[in-house]
Chains A and B, each alone.
Chain A
Amino acid sequence: MQMGDSSAAPGTSLNYGGRGAKAASSPAENYQLARRRTLQVVVSALLTESGFESAEKAAVETLTEMMQSYITEIGRCAKTYCEHTARSVPTLSDTVVTLIEMGFNVDTLPVYAKRSQRMVITAPPVTNAPVTPKSLSAGQKRTHPSHIPCHFPEFPDPHTYIKTPTFREPVSDYQVVREKAATQRRDVERALTRFMAKTGETQSLFKDDVSAFPLIAARPSAIPYLSALLPSELELQSLEETDSSEQDDQTDSENAAGNVINDDPSADKENSVLPPSGVVPSAKVSEDNVIDNPYLRPVKKPKVRRKK
């Protein structure tokens, strides 16, 4: 016991002393420190009970840790059982079920509790349980309306569910709108290109200040014509928009042809030869089903006996 105590004490001081002094200001930490210390005493007592003369502090520490884990697990499980049955405070039966679940023989517990060589441990020093900080309440909480029983939880703070639309008179002055759009776009473009230049390789026009006017480095691509010829997604999108918005006043064939581009390029070859709707004379349309083009014919299987 002596040994146990002496070995435990330095362990405690080692583990907590340094920090304890510093952390004394925090009540939560103080609280935990006290509990832990008690647990250590319990472990030491148990060791003494089992006949140990002394123990290394590391061993005591490990055992404490195990003990703590065990108790924590019991607590957690018991709480889960209790919540499972829609209660908020665990009862004895919850704890018992938990112990059983963990493989502990509950029947042996009373006997063990009444053993003779049992050491009495002083209660842990009373420290204030840590206070969980209250959430900041803002505004007046709403009271329950009459149809909701009063034992139901209170409404949360109003700011969590009330929406406050911000609204300002839209700027209708054309000049300002254009100015704004132009500036905004320019700023976005500049920021974007700067970012790209910063994050990638660059080329510079000046030798003295490489960062002035950074140019994103030219990078050759394997198939350069694709990006140069195909309209970008953005253009396609805007094309679609203008098409739909201007459909009424645009009757020229250019526009009709414009829709072609939205066709799925991977469409079936048979379908792909179908002309854009409405452009082709109807006589042709009927013929479309019987297009005889040698490139559309199926590839023949080789003859069994190959010539040549």
Chain B
Amino acid sequence: MLMTLTLQQQAAKMNRKKDKGFESPRPFKLTHQVVCINNINFQRKSVIGYVELTIFPTVVNLNRIKLNSKQCRIYRVRVNELEAPFIYNDPTLEVCHSESKQRNLNYFSSAYTAAVSAVDPDAGNGELVIKVPSELWKQGDDLKVLKVYIEFSLDQPKGGLHFVVPDVEGSMAERGAHVFSFGYQNSTRFWFPCVDSYSELCTWKLEFTVDASMVAVSCGDLMETIYTHDMRKKTFHYVLPIPTAAPNISLAVGPFEILVDPYMHEVTHFCLPQLLPLLKHSMSYLHEIFEFYEEILTCRYPYSCFKTVFVDEAYVQVSSYASMSIFSTNLLHSPTIIDQTPQTRRCLAQALAQQFFGCFISRMSWADEWVLKGISGYIYGLYLKKTFGVNEYRHWIKEELDRIVVYELKMGGVLLHPTFIGGKEKDNPTPHLHFSIKHPHTLSWEYFRMFQCKAHLVMRLIENRISMEFMLQVFNKLLSLASTASSQKYQSHMWSQMLLSTHAFLKSISNVSGKDIGPLIKQWVRDQSGVVKFFGSFAFNRKRNVLELEIRQDYTSSGTQKYVGPIKVTVQELDGSFNHTLQIEENSLKHDIPCHSKSRRNKKKKIPLMNGEEVDMDLSAMDADSPLLWIRIDPDMSILRKVEFEQADFMWQYQLRYERDVVAQEEAITALEKFPTPASRLALTDILEQEQCFYKVRMQACFCLAKIANAMVSTWQGPPAMKSLFTRMFCCKSCPNIVRTNNFINFQSYFLQKTMPVAMALLRDVQNLCPKDVLNFILDLIKYNDNRKNKFSDNYYRAELIEALTNALTPAISINNEVRTVENLNPDVRLILEEITRFLNMEKLLPSFRNTITVSCLKAIRQLQKNGHIPSDPSLFRAYAEYGHFVDVRLSALEALVDYTTVERSSTDLQWLLDLVQSDPVHYVRHKVLGMLSRNPPFTKAADSGLCTEALVDQLWRLMNSGTAHEWRLRCDAVNLYYTLFGLTRPSCLPLPELGLVLNLKEKKAVLNPTIKPEQGTSVAMETPASIGVHGVGMSYSAVDEEPDPVSLGVCGVGQPPQGLKRKAETPLGSPPEPGQILQHTDDDGRPGRYKIRFNPMEDEDIDMETVHDSQAFIHHHLNLLERPSTPGKEPPLAEQTLPSMSAAPVAPFSKDAASLSSKHGGDHAHHHHHHHHEHKKKKKKHKHKHKHKHKHDSKDRDRENPYAFSNSPASGRSLRSPSLSD
């Protein structure tokens, strides 16, 4: 009852919230923050500094301030010059207790989500809880400004800041040592204490004292640079007057070379020493991107300056922060490089788009992230359209659409705007996923990328609906509102105009366009995920001259959804192209479309196309009875869909030849793969030769042609596919076997020249070998390749030629697994190997741009190994995978190693890879390795494998549980890998849980000894339910079923005082801090007078805080304890226990700390213990609701028969804060 009421209240509150705009989850408002880093030590990789936050309490008697801080060692906290006690507790350091035997992913995911919630700034939480000295909060009602001053240091940070210190001679500046901030979503808490939320804006003053040879680049305007007294260092003073969220603050320090943009003097570029020439070239078109965005948005760039910094070992290629962006140095290129140029431009355009939407305009909550990602992705798309052309744009949209379709169909839906009305795990909108989408930090990286992809596609759908003009007006409106707000001095509500919410966005759309896009939003954004899967086929009814189109949908498989609404169908007839809008309804599959063309008597007539062009066609191929040339369903991609359409091969051929839309051409090419006929061959060859055709279509045609040729191998006439074409296009007139000297001035033919050999190498003869002609042809291309007169580098071309050689490889004829020796090397393979050896060796002497040659050679060598031509051996790849090679080379080598591990089932190599994941200095590489392992896993949950051992399970568990605590992305990668290898439930290689444990559990309950090691009990209580589905341990099930709550709750509550209490101090597991939840809590506690609306999680601790008498001793104690978070990973359990020791934990587990505890603390313990009991009594009442609630869930869960649902139920999550049976 009460629960329902609460939910209603909450819902009401949500509604109100929508109307009133932003409401802070915190009882204070941050207005200004000073970050001062006094010292950066590159040798020791440490940082010392302080922050000062100016906050306005929004409640009377603000007695606690929660801030975010991770891995910082905090020395002292002062509030208005008064020493303030503080508590540091980070439950994400170790998600599940280290000694827990629990190993199922469901359990981990819910615990991890709970841990992230517990410190989530968007819920008003934080790792650092500061007690406002009583002198200050007892002052009375006047809400006075508080200044919170925190001194901190960072030692060898594992996240947040990345130090790159090359191991060479010389000073740090000469060595090119640099440091920069990084992170996935809001990760600023890793390098300084702050409110790490995108919705808490404030102005900034940033000061960085660095070596005189270095430059510190940060957000905002550089006011001045001042030498220190010894003249050996200088201090950079930055001021950021535009209210900005902490996650958008960044820093880069290094001996950067400075380039002021010649077109825009307020834009400054920074790169590492020696790269200035590359920087000059790469940045030479940035001003065009600026101009473009400012023009379409009719809004000036919001910051007064912009800085680009190019760093080594970047976390991602592009990351945008307020008025600056950090890029990977590998984006820089010289003017001789073709392939990198568009990529770099794209990255710059992305960065700049995010400056407007993402940095300047921030999001209100995580659920609104899709709007920002969508808008920045959308305007980036507009830039692509303008710069690279409509073809490229449409191709890109198709590519993105295909990506999201593939992902959603494989992994399940991507939900853009998740709502958690109930705030319960049960209401998880994405039960198909093995992670929670409630927080950005629990998402798998791939999901997040797909999320971004879908967001911009949906923006495009909105554009289709309301027109681009209105769309841009909306953006302009949002930006002008924000810039008006940004120039205001701090006022309670103005700054929230800079925060964008889904609601505000939709409202703005309806205001501007007057159109209701509700259904569209409902379909693609809110509550529904998945794509639409259409199957189309047609018949032509000659009598009625009607096209009978049947469109079916599959909306039952995973990742799909039902579509109801209009759909556009374009029919190309003899008399022209006609658009029809059909209505997809519940039960109508068939649609009759009347045709316009009666017959085709007049053969000479030109056929009008969609774009008004009229062309001559050879109509002999078509069906004489039908006027239909081709049919397209949803040609504008205005639905997120996959269409499988059936039409005759000649129709696809016509579509390929004559339809001018690149998307249609690409669809036709894909479809033609299924029609290996001479007619298809001719159509493809014609397209290949047609220079007006978009080059990417032609490239795709190459591969299709290769496939068709292989399918037609027995009837193929003439030289190998594409050979004569290539000869005609790229070889000398006088000697057709010799390729012309390279001249890549025409980029279209360059890309074609690169691609054709690669596709040709896929050709196979009747013996399924690469034809000798083709191999010799490729070898000749390599031999006669001459780049001396070319003004562009041919490194990508040569790399593709190596790839062609790789493609030409076929499996060796193996005679009973003999050892591969040089003698029995196939002569063709010998030639290939010789080329590869020479290329690889030459690369050492004359390295190519981004070492593309080495990358290709490593792939080729792995392919040689895999096909049994040379002995399979990982040592070469290990050498190239080492730190110190160029990152592309490393990744290529690692890819080969992962493949080796999978093919050879090598446990040593798997171990080697996992060690690399744990210890490699480059975050990007670690991330990539886990990604590769997930994509190409050595084994999966489906199959048994010798590699699947208990040790491996433990290792991976440790990795995601505590080993990756300082890097959200890596942790999610580890979770992904764990999921790929073992699935959601308990890994099969682990021994079955003992049956007797349930009994033990009860015994334990009777013992009532809080110091007993509780983990075993916990794990059973938590794990048994979840493992029921898998192991079918009937006995344990019945035991749990019999008395489910008390057992699990009891154990959790008492059996493990440290953990139990720790959980209590955080936001409770399974109950996200939604307002409704809090209200309930307050009511229950019967302390309505208190203001703790969003303060719930710390409530229990409240009294603990008050009982800390001696703040000095307190601080002293904490300084000791805080040693640990700064060396995370090693002793996370102890770090976590910080809090329990403060509240009620027995001293026993802290033998080390015991010595340092003052006698006063001993007293505290007794006191706390008492309090603890007291509290439990209070909670017992509450428990009753819980109990009911729980049963409700149980029944629901069983109804659904979802084996996984159990772990989402309160039995696993909520129980931790429930009353203990010890009372």
Task: List A residues at the B interface (Cβ < 8 Å).
Answer: 174-175, 178-179, 181-182, 186, 189-190, 192-193, 196-197, 203, 205-209, 212-218, 220-232, 234-235, 238-239, 242-243, 246, 250, 254-255, 257-258, 260-263, 265, 269, 272-276, 279-280, 284, 287-288, 291-297, 299-303, 306
Contact = CB atoms under 8 A, between A and B. Distances in A.
Contacts of A280: 262-263
Contact of B167 (A222, A225, A242): A222
23 contacts: A178-B738, A178-B784, A178-B786, A192-B842, A193-B845, A203-B879, A216-B841, A220-B883, A223-B176, A224-B886, A225-B330, A226-B275, A228-B851, A229-B329, A229-B330, A229-B334, A235-B334, A258-B791, A275-B263, A291-B260, A291-B265, A295-B268, A302-B226
A255 B745 CA distance: 11
A182 B784 contact: yes
Nearest to A245: B789
B850 A228 contact: yes
A294 B334 contact: no
Interface in B239-272: 257-260, 262-263, 265-266, 268, 272
Contacts of B277: 260-263, 265
A300 B281 contact: no
B882 interface: yes
Among A174, A261, A269, chain B packs the most CB atoms within 10 A around the CB of A261
A246 B882 CA distance: 43
Given A224-B886, A228-B850, A189 B842 contact: yes
A273 B166 contact: no
Given A218-B885, A221-B884, A229-B275, A300 B227 contact: yes
Given A220-B885, A222-B884, A225-B886, A275 B276 contact: no
Interface string B172-186: 000110000000000
B145 to A, nearest CB: 20
B842 A229 contact: no
Contacts, number: 233
- Which 5 interchain pairs have the tightest Cβ spacing? A220-B884, A275-B262, A193-B841, A294-B222, A222-B166
A227 B840 CA distance: 15
A231 B849 contact: yes
A36 to B, nearest CB: 58
A242 B334 contact: no
Given A206-B870, A225-B329, A292 B838 contact: no
Interface stretch (B188-196, B295-303, B816-824, B894-902): B816-824
Contacts of A190: 838
A292 B265 contact: yes
B732 A174 contact: yes
Contact of A295 (B260, B263, B886): B260
B814 interface: no
B265 A293 contact: yes
Nearest to A292: B265
Nearest to B340: A229
Among A235, A258, A276, A302, chain B packs the most CB atoms within 10 A around the CB of A235
Contacts of B850: 228-229
Contact of A196 (B312, B330, B732, B844): B844
B783 interface: yes
Given A178-B786, A208-B821, A230-B278, 18 more contacts: A178-B732, A182-B786, A193-B845, A203-B876, A205-B833, A207-B871, A218-B879, A222-B175, A223-B166, A225-B272, A225-B312, A260-B281, A261-B335, A263-B277, A295-B215, A300-B224, A300-B225, A302-B228
B884 A175 contact: no
A216 B857 CA distance: 13
Interface string B823-842: 10000000001100110111
B333 interface: yes
B788 interface: yes
B1151 interface: no
Given A212-B822, A294-B223, A263 B846 contact: no
Contacts of B851: 228
A220 B734 CA distance: 46
B15 interface: no
B336 interface: yes
A230 B841 contact: no
B262 A284 contact: yes
Contacts of B790: 238, 242
Given A222-B167, A223-B166, A292-B265, A260 B280 contact: yes
Contacts of B823: 208
A296 B335 contact: no
B482 interface: no
Contact of A235 (B281, B284, B336): B336
Contact of A228 (B176, B265, B820, B847): B847
B263 A284 contact: yes
A89 to B, nearest CB: 61
B258 A213 contact: no
A308 B734 CA distance: 81
B112 interface: no
Among A179, A186, A295, chain B packs the most CB atoms within 10 A around the CB of A295
Contacts of A234: 846
A261 B223 CA distance: 32
B332 interface: yes
B841 A196 contact: yes
A123 B689 CA distance: 103
Nearest to A228: B886
B281 A261 contact: yes
A215 B847 contact: no
A22 B787 CA distance: 65
A303 B266 CA distance: 28
Contacts of A284: 262-263
B987 to A, nearest CB: 36
B357 to A, nearest CB: 26
A81 B871 CA distance: 78
A176 to B, nearest CB: 9
Interface string B14-42: 00000000000000000000000000000
B801 to A, nearest CB: 14
A37 to B, nearest CB: 63
A214 B841 CA distance: 9
Among A258, A287, A288, A297, chain B packs the most CB atoms within 10 A around the CB of A258
A296 B258 contact: yes
B885 A273 contact: no
B748 to A, nearest CB: 15
A174 B734 contact: yes
B276 A296 contact: no
A157 B1097 CA distance: 107
A243 B735 CA distance: 28
Nearest to B850: A228
B837 A300 contact: no
A228 B260 contact: no
Contacts of B837: 193, 213-215
B795 to A, nearest CB: 9
A202 B732 CA distance: 39
Contact of B788 (A238, A272, A288): A238
Contacts of B789: 242
A301 B215 contact: no
Contacts of B268: 293, 295
Given A239-B791, A284-B263, A272 B276 contact: yes
A257 to B, nearest CB: 5
B796 to A, nearest CB: 13
Interface string B191-224: 0000000000000000000001001000001111
B229 interface: yes
A269 B260 CA distance: 9
Given A205-B876, A302-B228, A175 B822 contact: no
A306 B234 CA distance: 13
Interface in B843-898: 844-847, 849-851, 861, 864, 870-871, 873, 875-876, 879-880, 882-888
B330 A205 contact: no
B225 A258 contact: no
